[in-house]
Structure 1
């Protein structure tokens, strides 16, 4: 095992160093770090607002009022997290060039707003919240890169207004940024106008069509499910909300299969489908969030030596128990981290195959079509999703051991790397 870990360190650490020195990937990573405290705040209140079966304890009317009162916490953070990431990317990339980072951040966000359709239900001048959140992240990331680069280009060409000596510094900087910002935003306005003459009408529609149409040819079954799960992990690795992107295509299929199982369950007949919405939500996502990171949190408590991982484990455990894992995704980090790409991609695929064949062969009952709240903790969710069968909980427990086994050597390397860096920092 030690030789295997040394081999991984020899292969993966140089790759990590190269990626860490890439200004675009660094800006992307640091852009997500800007959003991290806001994401954690929103995640905590998502859990509080969605305690399983609370509606049955206090009544549906009281539960609705309770959720409405807490809703703004996540609506103002998680629901528009794309805005913070876009500003963070623009800021950090511009600052990397030695320029005023704040102008790079605001021009990136303004460029994104120019490209964003500003109409909801026929009412103009209204920006849909979904466009500012995870759904708009794909467009937002590329917009931030391009806007920051254009702003940098115009500044370095000295297409700026130079104010005379004696003018306050803040005023001078604002006028210096005026022409570069105007030219940058004009480019994005032209792009928006050009797309309005195409069948796509907007940049967002173009991106969604390019991503989604190839996926619609896929159906149900193990190959399609493995492919969908793998895409979710890949999108998350690059900072995109894989669950939202893939669910928008597969949810109609998964929900239809779910309804078929529910009908059969209520009739007392054999359940026809293995893969359903609850197959995904309970036995994959419902084990700590995308990537089943509850097992990773448990592993951190068992083997972690670095302060960074120990504190992250304490921070991520409460949310992870209710399948909210943004603290782990952005804090480990998982995004753009080559040290963990293998377990991040491999573990969900292995668990998908194990779960599929466990149910196909009858070792574990198939999902009964019961919609279990996604914040229901693992083991309880597996029990409920299979029609109150203990085998569902047992399968989740077994799968967590599988995930932990796959992650162990890679997390050990990451922890060792953090631990050594912390010791070097203390000696300076």
Structure 2
């Protein structure tokens, strides 16, 4: 890699990264995700095991249902509600930064989020939808954790606390000291919930999703719209939102309709009418290790990684990434709020989208045949199946992986160097 280019990246990106890493909110965000990482990895492993490609074709329907039901709680108790762990982690770490009682910062953040969360599911009250506790609620959860921790700190610093006499056990004294600050903090969020209940949005979640999703509905289909959709997925993920859930909820009806048109044409033996379909996205973008095609990142880690952090992330993220589950990479590298990798994270999927589109538009590769390939099907095989058992689809996926690796190379090398130098300093200081 050109040394001048590497030096240019260091001169531009490292100062930005240092400033952001010293920001208390971004540090709390990063460390909060680290709290959730072991649980996310556990859930990711069992998502793969529970959804092994084509297992439903090999065993009976009842056996497959029993198999999934047995393993389902592993991901339901971790990935499906990972927002809980992140919110508690952020509240804990931010309060810890202020030298406060960190555990109260964590629980008040979670309680504040629950107050804002709708507690009605399909007409049944007193039930919290798990979707709100997972990736869909992450955006609201992050900002709720920041605000609640700041409010709690503010009320504590104002000395609005109950002082217990000497001789009272420490745990009891701390609990009463936190009573008034926690009460005031939760009251603020209760007022916010009440205010939104009198608006057309009804809840804060509905407000957030409305302002994000409505502008997307006007985009339609085609290459320009697909590039915008792919770019938005990456941007949302960078800020901690589940980009696929947000964007797919708008585009899936369009992509599935185009997919069905191709399937009908494929079965009739006529020309396939569409290039952009649901399987175009799932097999040639997301199906390359997950959002951002991070299987290429895992392969690069094996090739150039020197730091202990990257090597461990590669070991943890490799097996699940092979089956298109990449939470270990997204939260462990990390992808979220990491200025050193924002350029390849945004650019690589767009480049691959353009390459894939024109490869199919020029006839080099057949368009997706409309066959729904299980999302956990590994790359190369999924490209072969999605294009109607065409070898060109597999070759295109391999080529795209190589392209992503080339784009990521200098940035991952810089990230690895940064981690490696930090680890060496810590080792010297410890000795």
Q: Which residue of 1 aligns with 2:391?
A: 390
Q: Which residue of 1 aligns with 2:282?
A: 281
Q: Which residue of 1 aligns with 2:142?
A: 141
Q: Which residue of 2 aligns with 1:359?
A: 360
Q: Which residue of 1 aligns with 2:258?
A: 257
State the Cα RMSD in Å: 0.9
Distance (whole Å) between structure 2 residues aligned to residue 427 and residue 90 of structure 1: 32
How far is 1:419 from its partner? Answer: 1.6
How far is 1:72 from its partner? Answer: 0.3
How far is 1:425 from its partner? Answer: 2.2
Provide the TM-score with structure 2 as the length reference.
Answer: 0.98
Q: Which residue of 2 aligns with 1:180?
A: 181
Verify: 1:85 aligned to 2:86, yes or no.
Answer: yes
SS in 1 for 2:109: helix
Distance (whole Å) between structure 2 residues aligned to residue 309 and residue 27 of structure 1: 21
SS in 1 for 2:292: coil
Question: Which whole-Å deviations, capped at 9, do the CAs of 1:78-123 have from their partners, x for residues lacking one?
Answer: 0000111111111111111111111111111111111111111111
How far is 1:423 from its partner? Answer: 2.0
How far is 1:258 from its partner? Answer: 0.8
Verify: 1:104 aligned to 2:105, yes or no.
Answer: yes
Q: Which residue of 1 aligns with 2:117?
A: 116
Q: Which residue of 2 aligns with 1:334?
A: 335
Distance (whole Å) between structure 1 residues aligned to residue 17 and residue 11 of structure 2: 11
How far is 1:228 from its partner? Answer: 0.9
SS in 1 for 2:270: coil
* Runs of 4+ with deviation above 3 angstroms: none
Q: Which residue of 2 aligns with 1:212?
A: 213
Q: Which residue of 2 aligns with 1:232?
A: 233
How far is 1:16 from its partner? Answer: 0.3
Q: Which residue of 1 aligns with 2:35?
A: 34
Distance (whole Å) between structure 2 residues aligned to residue 21 and residue 308 of structure 1: 20
Verify: 1:126 aligned to 2:151, yes or no.
Answer: no
How far is 1:267 from its partner? Answer: 1.1
Q: Which residue of 1 aligns with 2:382?
A: 381
Verify: 1:159 aligned to 2:160, yes or no.
Answer: yes
Distance (whole Å) between structure 2 residues aligned to residue 303 and residue 34 of structure 1: 27
Q: Which residue of 2 aligns with 1:57?
A: 58
How far is 1:415 from its partner? Answer: 1.3
How far is 1:424 from its partner? Answer: 2.0
Bigger drift between 302-311 and 217-226 goes to: 302-311
Q: Which residue of 1 aligns with 2:424?
A: 423
Distance (whole Å) between structure 1 residues aligned to residue 422 and residue 186 of structure 2: 42
Count of residues in correspondence between the two structures: 428
Q: Which residue of 1 aligns with 2:69?
A: 68
SS in 1 for 2:300: helix
Distance (whole Å) between structure 1 residues aligned to residue 88 and residue 328 of structure 2: 20
How far is 1:71 from its partner? Answer: 0.2
Provide the TM-score with structure 1 as the length reference.
Answer: 0.99
